[in-house]
Chains A and B, each alone.
Chain A
Amino acid sequence: MTDHDDTRPHMPLGLALRGYTGVIQHLSTKDTGSALSDIELESRLIELGFVEGARVEVLHEGLVGRDPIAVRVDSITIAVRRREAMAIIVA
């Protein structure tokens, strides 16, 4: 499988549907609408393993508005709201 090459379009993880797999390209915490400050949000995402190069897969979605999502990040599973996941740019 060569689906993680540079030709894949970049998109926020917050828009990904169940079953999506990709690799984190970078974090962009501007204008996500999260209650956290940009720096705080970025720090927390990093602390939970959302760093450049990590493989992600959207495993589950909630009932209301497909939110929150359960994301496999390398070897662990993290639940996040889509609003915060908008800061994670994947391809």
Chain B
Amino acid sequence: MEAPLLHLALVGTPNSGKTSLFNALTGSRQKVANYPGVTVERKEGFFVTPLGRQVSVVDLPGTYSLRGRSPDEEITRDFVLGKASGEIVPDLVLCVADSTNLRLTIRLLLELKRTGRPMILVLNMFDIASRRGITVDVERLAKELGVPVVTSIAVRKGGTADLLALTDEISAKLASEPQENSWRALSVSELRATQREADRIIADCVSLPARPDTWTARIDAVVLHPVGGLIVLALILFVMFQAVFAWAQPAMDLLKSGFDALGELVKATLPDGLLQSFLQDGVISGVGSVIVFLPQIILIFLFILLLEDFGYMARAAFLMDRIMGGAGLHGRAFIPLLSSFACAIPGIMATRVIDNKRDRLTTILIAPLMTCSARIPVYTLIISAFIPAKDVWGFINLQGLVMFGLYTTGIVSALAVSFVIKFFMIRDYAPAPFMLELPDYKMPRLKSIAIGIYTRAKMFLQRAGTTIFSMMVLIWFLASFPQPPAGSTEPAIDFSLAAMIGKALEPLLAPVGFNWQIAVALIPGMAAREVAVAALGTVYAIEGGKEAAEQIGQVLATKWSLATALSMLAWYIFAPQCASTLAVIRRETGSWGWMAVTFTYMLVLAYAASLVTYNVAVALGAG
């Protein structure tokens, strides 16, 4: 008879290696993508034990106790207690510990024991502990705790072999009758008592040479220096943006010529007409112009994942806490906000680590102002068409500098908005405490970075294949129908639905310098920002013929004034051009109201910023 699926849950303090262990056990057999910053999604994976038992394992958010102080920690508590709706009570809880730092985990484990769930203590990062001369009497520890104990090295091949063997051994004799759950929230004196008990057990079973990680101390001396640390942080961000703009170029050129060649092939094979126009202008140049940005998106995620894995993110939060506090933000908001540079959606979901409701709400409201990767296509297109690619001061690329300026404007505006919220909307504001563990630095692992980038790239391509593709078909349709009457001399697009819509909107957008083509492109851009680029491409391609499609940047340079281009950049810093972000805001705040607030304030800011930019630019002679 086939044994039923065995359900495991990974519980432990933050940074104990739960996600690494999860990856090691399940490989790529995972159901939900992990977002940078924190484990915010419920991630389930599957594997088979050496004895052939089918296992499902869930990676739970890190926690120091079962009290559930934040939405994240509540997930963990409810899951372990079997109170989470629609979830199966785990058959076996793997309590994951960082072996170099057992105090807090052993306390957590003593608390977990009260739930009556069968449990294994996994002494992870045993390689680091051994290197530092920490020795653990595993047998004695298991006896004192009354829980099986096993060592593991999540990031080494075969490092989980003992854990797998033990899982087999235990699952064979798991009692099927329900155990007694005597857990309730611990009082302060019970907490103290459990910590004492934990410390006593550690003193009995673990020998700790007083040798802290010298590397971490040395790096922190620079990285956490009050002034030097901020300079390092600024440098890291600056390098990140220069890299995204400059290093990605060769790969992007390659992708672009690939799509161009494909378009040419279609043109050469198919007869002139609607089908050819649909495939070449609608599908290939449309979807292609978005996929071209894959290298940049991979690069920005690479940086964020590297910093995360290295252990730098918590340091950045430390450095920024008071500075962001001045703007009414919590230091912990730094990680969600930094993630928002990749995409506001994981960023907004990552705000779940902020336990104070107001701090969380403020962070959610401003996260979309961080320059997400979907803006990159728009920025890149306009910058490369209008800003000369020369060097200033000999080594800084002017285009990169403008890009940096756009990012900075986004950040500064976010801080300003948060400041306004603090003063006008949320008056009785008391700063929530900032308490965060600064983990030892770790060498980033190729495998976990690769898994991380892979899942993001897949998400991006799926979007290109679905949302963006359908928007492109719609745009192509609007721009192609109705067809011009036979014998007309004006461009075909002038007769189309797109032109009608665009021209109807033009009076509204004329004050900010947008023509009707831009108005047309902005509408599908509501679904996903990067679609605007493709939409502009399609509109101008159908208007100007095939050559235009291949050189959309050059076309823009001849059709737009510099003032219009700058106005468009300003618009894109603020405009709420992303339906998915708005949907996530609704879900995470549980309110349509906050979604409407976000949409309105961003739209107002966008219009105002474009209005000012356009008029100032025109006054300076760039009209």
Contacts and interface: CB of A to CB of B under 8 A. Distances in A.
Contact of B433 (A59, A64, A81): A81
Contacts of B431: 35, 81, 83
Given A35-B431, A76-B104, A59 B188 contact: no
A35 B432 contact: yes
A44 interface: yes
A34 B435 CA distance: 12
A64 B320 CA distance: 10
Contact of B322 (A60, A67, A75, A84): A67
B104 A41 contact: no
Nearest to B359: A35
B69 interface: yes
A51 B198 CA distance: 12
A17 interface: no
Contact of A62 (B104, B318, B437): B318
B224 A64 contact: no
A15 interface: no
Interface string A25-49: 0000000001110011111111111
B64 A36 contact: no
B323 A64 contact: yes
Interface string A53-83: 0000001111111111010101111111101
Contacts of B436: 78-79
Contact of A78 (B191, B196, B435): B435
8 contacts: A41-B433, A44-B433, A59-B217, A59-B220, A59-B224, A60-B318, A76-B437, A81-B434
B226 A47 contact: no
A71 to B, nearest CB: 10
B268 to A, nearest CB: 62
A77 B438 contact: yes
Interface of B: 64-65, 67, 69, 100-101, 103-104, 107, 186, 188, 191-192, 195-196, 199, 208, 212, 216-217, 220, 224-227, 229-230, 314, 317-319, 321-323, 325-326, 331, 356, 430-438
Contacts of B199: 51
> Which 5 pairs show the lowest CB-CB distances between chains A and B?
A64-B322, A35-B430, A63-B226, A60-B224, A47-B64
A48 B192 CA distance: 11
A43 B191 contact: yes
B230 A79 contact: no
B434 A51 contact: no
Contacts of A77: 216, 437-438
Contact of B192 (A51, A59, A76, A80): A51
A59 B259 CA distance: 54
Contacts of B196: 51
A80 B188 contact: no
Q: Which of A47, A66, A74 has the most CB of B within 10 A?
A: A47
Nearest to B100: A75
A46 B433 contact: no
B451 to A, nearest CB: 27
A81 B191 contact: no
A51 B195 contact: yes
Given A68-B331, A75-B212, A84 B435 contact: yes
A81 B226 CA distance: 15
Nearest to B325: A64
